[in-house]
Each structure stands twice: as C-alpha cells, then as structure tokens.
Amino acid sequence: MQATTTDVQIRQLDTVDLGAVTTIDEKITGRYRPDEWERRVGYYLRRDPDAALVAEVDSEVVGFMLGEVRSGEFGLEEPTGWIEVLGVDPDRRGGAIGQRLAEALLDHFRVEGATTVRTLVDETMEDIAGFFSSLGFEPAPLRPFVKAL
Ligand SMILES: CC(C)(COP(=O)(O)OP(=O)(O)OC[C@H]1O[C@@H](n2cnc3c(N)ncnc32)[C@H](O)[C@@H]1OP(=O)(O)O)[C@@H](O)C(=O)NCCC(=O)NCCS
C-alpha cells in the first residue's frame, strides 16, 4: 500500500482530545468506551506525557499513539521504547499519519535514551503487522505466554 503524504501536525495529547480519541477507537473497533479511554489516557499522561501523541489534519485529531520507555523487563536490560496503543481514523488511512506519529514517538524514545523500540502485534492483525514492517520493524524472538484466570 502506498502512503500519500497529508499535511499532518503531531503534538502532545491533551485531555481535551479524549472525545476525538474515543471516536477514532469507536470507528476502528465499533465500541464506544469513553471511561476506558479516560482511564487509559490518564495513565499515559501520568507516566510520560511526551510519549502520548496525536496527529492533526486541518485542526482535527485524526490519530493517536501512546507508549513509554522502560527497561529491566522480560529479561530486556536495554532501555526500550514500547509502542502500546495506536489508532488512525479509518477515513484518513494511507496518508502517512501513522508513519508521522511513529517517527515523532521514536524521536522521543531516542531522546529518552532508548536504543530499541518494540511493540506486540496479534497474529490476526495483519494490517498492523504490515504497518510496522513498512517502518522497518522485524519479528522478534520474544514469545508472549498467556493463561486464562
Ligand atoms: C495501522 C495504522 C496505524 C496505519 O495508519 P496509516 O496512517 O494508514 O499508515 P501510513 O499511511 O502512515 O502508512 C505507513 C506505512 O505502513 C504501511 N501500511 C499502512 N497500513 C497498512 C496495511 N493495512 N497493510 C499493510 N501495510 C500498511 C503503508 O503502506 C506505509 O508503508 P510505505 O511507506 O512503505 O508505503 C492504521 O491502519 C490503524 O490505526 N489500524 C488500526 C489500529 C488498531 O486496531 N488499534 C486498536 C484500537 S485503538
């Protein structure tokens, strides 16, 4: 898929963006979850506000990406930037919005001292896998283990 560049501004997420983020998530997942996003956004803004970004086109929030730098987890000693939550408005896809968000977040991770960036992608989500592959991410030999509780 070829991304055509749109005039995109990247800036820090603000709590006033909650409605826009909730709407984008609803468009992607079909679920309206304002309380969940309030909790989630609050968590990321407390942890590392510079790693909570939104993309704007013509002053409209059209995408978001949340993450943080951590180290010493899962046997990974190096400071690692984790991309944990992302979404681009389905009506705006293919405009390099996700790419611009990722570039800005990776720049921040570098400033924070990260030498690696990681994310987790469900095997069934081929679109997200394709997106990260296009950005130069490769499958890693770190396997998630899971058990129902
Ligand atoms: C994955 C996602 C972030 C991509 O956003 P986007 O703005 O359309 O992506 P871009 O236009 O920046 O594309 C960047 C690169 O990724 C590639 N890419 C994007 N979507 C792709 C797809 N569905 N399949 C394969 N590659 C894809 C593009 O081709 C481009 O590569 P190129 O530069 O080599 O051409 C977006 O589709 C999305 O939000 N998906 C749903 C995420 C989700 O489910 N979140 C959970 C709910 S919050």
Q: What is the pLDDT of residues 34-68, one digit of tens each?
A: 999 999 999 999 999 999 999 999 999 999 999 99
Task: Quote the ligand 1 centre to 131 CA distance (angstroms).
Answer: 4
Helix (H, G, I), strand (E, B) or coil at 80: strand
How does residue 6 score in pLDDT terms, banded at 50, 70 and 90? low
How does residue 95 score in pLDDT terms, banded at 50, 70 and 90? very high
Q: Is 1 in the pocket of ligand 1 (CB under 6 A)?
A: yes
CA of residue 25 relative to chain centroid, distance: 12
- Higher-scoring residue by pLDDT: 2, 139: 139
Q: Is 134 in the pocket of ligand 1 (CB under 6 A)?
A: yes
**pLDDT given for residue 83 in this prediction:** 98
Mean pLDDT of 101-129: 96
How does residue 4 score in pLDDT terms, banded at 50, 70 and 90? low
Residues 6+ apart with CB under 8 A from 13: 21, 41, 44, 45, 49, 52, 53, 54, 64, 66
Q: Is 29 in the pocket of ligand 1 (CB under 6 A)?
A: yes
| Closest to 80 (Cα-Cα) out of 34, 122, 30, 118 | 118
Sign of CA dihedral 91, 38, 65, 119: negative
Asked whether the beta carbons of 115 and 77 are under 8 A apart, the reply is no
Please say whether the structural domain 9-134 has been given the CATH code 3.40.640.10.
no
Number of CB atoms found within 10 A of residue 2's CB: 5
Question: 67-95: buried (b, 16+ CB within 10 Å) or exposed (e) per residue?
Answer: bbbbeeeeeeeebbbbbebbbbbeebbeb
| Closest to 92 (Cα-Cα) out of 17, 27, 10, 11 | 27
Number of CB atoms found within 10 A of residue 128's CB: 15
Q: Is 93 in the pocket of ligand 1 (CB under 6 A)?
A: yes
